[in-house]
Amino acid sequence: MSAPRVVGGRSPVVAYALMAPALVLVLGVLAYPIAWEAWISLTNFSSRAEGGPVFVGLANYRNMVREAIFWRGVGITVAYFAITTIAKLGLGVAMALLLAKPSRGRALVFLAVFLPWAYPGGVTVIAWYWMLNPPLITSYSVLAGNLKYAVDGWLGGGAYAFASVVLFNIWRGGSFTAIFLLAGLNAIPTELFEFAELETRSPWQRFCRVTLPLLKPYMALAVFLSFTTAFADLANVWMLTGGRIIFPVLGTYAYWLGIRSGQFAEAAAYSLSLVPLLVAALVVLFRWFDPRPEEAA
Amino acid sequence: MTRRRRRWRHGLLLTLAAIYSVFPIYFITVQSLKTAQEDVFGSPWYVARPSFENYTELFEGGEARVRGYVIVPRVPFLQWVGNSLSVLLLTLGLTLVAGVLAAYALGRLQPPGWWWWRRVLFATYVIPHTILFIPIYQVVIALGLDNEHLALVLIYSTMALPFCVWILSAFYRHLPREIEDSALIEGATPATAFVRIMLPMSRNVLVAAGLFTIGTVGNDFMLASIFLLDPEKQTVAAGLGVMDVSLAELLAVAGVNLAAIPVALVCAAFARDYVRGLTAAMVEGA
């Protein structure tokens, strides 16, 4: 192995020492919980079982795969992720392009677009809850109620709740994506866009052939950053449905199993069920936004 | 003519984007300023006779009271604000210090395997902490941090660090090496070269990392209400988060709103630097 390029002749020991606080913090807080979760998913641990956890092999997973609600949960989770991600990317790209163009009032709009993400989620989630499910007899309760019944009647029970969680996620996450992609647009050399202006015929063609490909790594990064919310947007699902599990996003359902029913082992199995999918997605995304440099140190 | 029309369309779209972004916050603020009477009979879009009852209620402190038919729980709001502030500042400090050190190592010193360390650290971002909270609670208890702010500080830091290390290390990696080398030739130690030259250069990236941390902390109320049970120790999010989803909710809105305004102002003040910082980290690829 060639000697690493070192500034001032320091050895890798210094580098590892500098990395230590962050690694100890992140892995220290997470390693045990993840291991615990994996181990518990292989036992019969629950609040009802006598004594300590007993190893039962893959029984929890086997039972889980036989449950209809699991597959419904997988479907909903994937749908939730797909819908919110596409919407957030679409909105994000649109707003980023809008804000990238110099114009009057842009600074103000920029701040407005920044707000949904910057404003603490605790209050905005209640705001959406009040808008969509007014909890009291307010002046618009009847209107919102009718809307809810219309949507649920049209698309089936729980559709309205699903839509409200989706909308909130898009609203908050879309803001982050927009600002993030705006930064990405700024990072692309302007000459490329000037060339594109000359080389392409229509704005649409320019967008498809130049802007989108250039934004791709940043979009991949934005998708990566919205992963957690899709898998376990617990707090929001919780708030927006008033703590009821109308449609099971896997993470929320796992939480429900663990906390409400004390079925910790099953809950752990549900929590871990998406790991293969997550890993696969990570591999693809990392390839897009973090290609390995030819001359890694 | 067409140019003029295009400008109009652009302005219209900008206005729409602004309304869409701000509307929910406007809406809930309007509701929180209403009296019960106006809530029922007024218009949902605006408030005719604003009442600050929900807001002043927060500062009454003391014992639970009855207001109308509602029992208003005891809310040591000022204490919660203080708690939130200390959690936020400690998280910021810990995240930025640990983040900068790791980012310098990963971006500049690049020890063997740095590529994978960087990815592993970043990949932990997708782990949902809310799902892991039972074993995390065990860790917290084992560390004796039960009901302590430090527990939240540690957890929030682990949530914000992956992203912060990612953008900071991307920035240090792309910073021309000559800048640091010239300082070293002048006889500076690597540490002084870093603190005096590289750190100031990364100011905007630090702002971006800091705002991201603030956003992470500000978004959570689940973990806060799980880990802080003692009312004296709770943050605003924890305290108001455990209140019933009921009539008292507007009080919660008022509370979070009050706490949110300074946060939003800080974010607004640094919004530009935030974008510049992200851009600086993204030049030459993410």
Please tell me the distance in Å from B201's CA to the nearest CA on chain A.
17
Indicate whether B73 pLDDT > 70: no
From chain B residues 193-252, the ones with a CB under 8 A of any chain A CB are 211, 214-215, 218-222, 236-237, 240-241, 245-247, 249, 252
pLDDT at B232 over 90: no
- What does the pLDDT average to over B168-197? 87
pLDDT for A175? 93
Is the model more confident about A282 or about B286?
A282
Give me the long-range contacts of B10-13 (CB less than 8 A, separation at least 24): B10/A98, B10/A101, B10/A103, B11/A103, B11/A104, B11/A105, B13/A98
pLDDT of residue B138: 87
Question: In the prediction, which pLDDT does A238 show?
Answer: 63
Give the closest of A116, A221, A251 to B128, CB-based: A251
pLDDT at B174 over 50: yes
Cα–Cα distance, A65 to A87 (Å, whole number): 30
Question: Stretch B164-172: mean pLDDT, rounded?
Answer: 93
A63-77 average pLDDT score: 87
Maximum mean pLDDT: which of B101-110, B126-135, B218-227: B101-110
Cβ of B127 within 8 Å of Cβ of A243? The answer is no
Q: Is the pLDDT score of A209 beyond 60?
A: yes
pLDDT band at B87 (very low <50, low <70, confident <90, very high): very high
Chain B segment 63-102 residues within 8 A of A by beta carbon are 94, 97-99, 101-102
> Looking at residue A244, what is its pLDDT?
57
Touching B: A residues 69-128, CB under 8 Å:
95, 98-99, 101, 103-106, 108-124, 126-128
**Highest-pLDDT range among A233-237, B36-40, B100-104, B218-222:** B100-104
Q: What share of chain A has pLDDT > 70, as a percent?
A: 86
The pLDDT value recorded for residue A1 is 37
Question: Which among B254, B226, B256 is positioned nearest to B242, based on CA atoms?
Answer: B226
Residues within 8 A of A (CB atoms), B 157-196 only: 157-158, 161-163, 165, 177, 180-181, 184, 189-190
Are B111 and A183 within 8 A, CB to CB?
Answer: no
Residue B2 has pLDDT above 90, yes or no: no
- Out of A6-10, A145-149, B83-87, which region has the weakest mean confidence (pLDDT)? A6-10
User: Does residue A231 carry a pLDDT above 70?
Assistant: no
Residues in chain A closer than 8 A to B81 (CB atoms): none
Mean pLDDT, range A166-172, rounded to an integer: 89
> Is the pLDDT reported for residue B64 higher than 70?
no
Tens-digit pLDDT profile for residues B240-276: 766 554 445 677 778 878 888 888 899 999 999 999 9
Is the pLDDT at A30 greater than 50, yes or no?
A: yes
Diameter over CA atoms, chain B: 75
B256 interfaces chain A, CB cutoff of 8 Å: yes
C-alpha B261: how far from its chain's center?
Answer: 12
Beta bridge partners of B67: B70
Asked if A255 is an interface residue toward chain B (Cβ–Cβ < 8 A), one would say yes
* Interface list for A 135-164 with B (CB within 8 A): 135-140
Residues of A in contact with B160 (CB under 8 A): none
Q: Across the interface, which of B110, B218, B237 has its CB nearest the CB of A4?
A: B110
Beta bridge partners of B41: none
Does residue B86 or residue B253 have the better pLDDT? B86
Checking A74-80 for CB contacts under 8 A at 24+ apart, the result is A74/A250, A74/A273, A74/A274, A76/A162, A76/A247, A76/A248, A76/A249, A77/A230, A77/A231, A77/A249, A77/A250, A77/A251, A77/A274, A78/A277, A80/A162, A80/A165, A80/A166, A80/A169, A80/A230, A80/A233, A80/A249
Give B207's pLDDT tier (boundaries 50, 70, 90): very high
Q: Does A282 touch chain B (CB under 8 A)?
A: yes
Round to whole Å and give the CA distance between B89 and B152.
Answer: 12
**Confidence at A164, pLDDT banded by 50, 70, 90:** confident
- How many other CB atoms are there within 10 angstroms of residue A64's CB atom? 19
What is the pLDDT, as a whole number, of residue B186? 85
Query: For the residues A176-198, what does the mean pLDDT come to?
Result: 88
Which DSSP symbol is given to B72?
E
Predicted TM-score of the model (pTM): 0.89
In this prediction, what percent of chain B has a pLDDT beyond 90? 32
Q: Would the CB atoms of B18 and A278 count as touching at under 8 Å? A: no
Q: How many angstroms separate the CA atoms of A80 and A169, rounded?
A: 10
- DSSP, collapsed to helix, strand or coil, labels residue B248 as coil
CA neighbours within 13 Å on the CB side: how many for B204? 15
Which range has the worst mean pLDDT, A29-33, B60-64, B198-202? B60-64
Would you place residue A247 in the very low, low, confident or very high pLDDT band (cuts 50, 70, 90)? low
Q: Which two tokens stand for residue A255?
A: 């939480």
A269 within 8 A of A263, measured Cβ to Cβ: no
- Quote the pLDDT of residue A219: 92
CB of B15 less than 8 A from some CB of A: yes
Whether residue A30 and residue B127 make contact (CB cut-off 8 A), yes or no, is yes
Share of chain B above pLDDT 70, in %: 90
Per-residue pLDDT for A205 more than 90? no
Looking at per-residue pLDDT, the higher value among B237 and B70 belongs to B237
* Cross-chain CB nearest to A34 (options B105, B132, B285): B132
Mean pLDDT score, A252-261: 78
Residue A162: its pLDDT value, please?
Answer: 82
**Is 60 exceeded by the pLDDT of residue B111?**
yes
Please check the confidence at residue A9 and state whether its pLDDT lies above 70: no
Residue A107 is encoded by which pair of tokens? 């600074």
* Chain B CB contacts of A34 below 8 Å: 127, 132, 135
DSSP B5-71: HHHHHHHHHHHHHHHHHHHHHHHHHHHHT--HHHHHHS-SS--SS---HHHHHTTT-SS-EEETTEE
Burial label for A82, CB within 10 Å (0-12, 13-18, 19+), is exposed
In terms of pLDDT, which residue wins out, B182 or A93?
Answer: A93
* Contacts of A177 by beta carbon, 8 Å cutoff, 6+ apart: A88, A89, A91, A92, A222, A226
Query: How many angstroms away from the CA of B153 is the closest CA of chain A?
Result: 11
Residue B227 Cα, gap to closest chain A Cα (Å): 14
Average pLDDT on B68-79 reads 69
B227 touches B151 (CB < 8 A) = yes
Question: What pLDDT, in 10s, does the model give residues A121-135?
Answer: 777 887 888 788 776
> CB A225 to CB B177 under 8 A?
no
Contact assessment for residue B157 and residue B214, using Cβ atoms and an 8 Å cutoff: no
Residue A296: predicted pLDDT? 44
Per-residue confidence band for B62, with pLDDT thresholds at 50, 70 and 90 = low
Contact B130 A221 (CB under 8 A): no
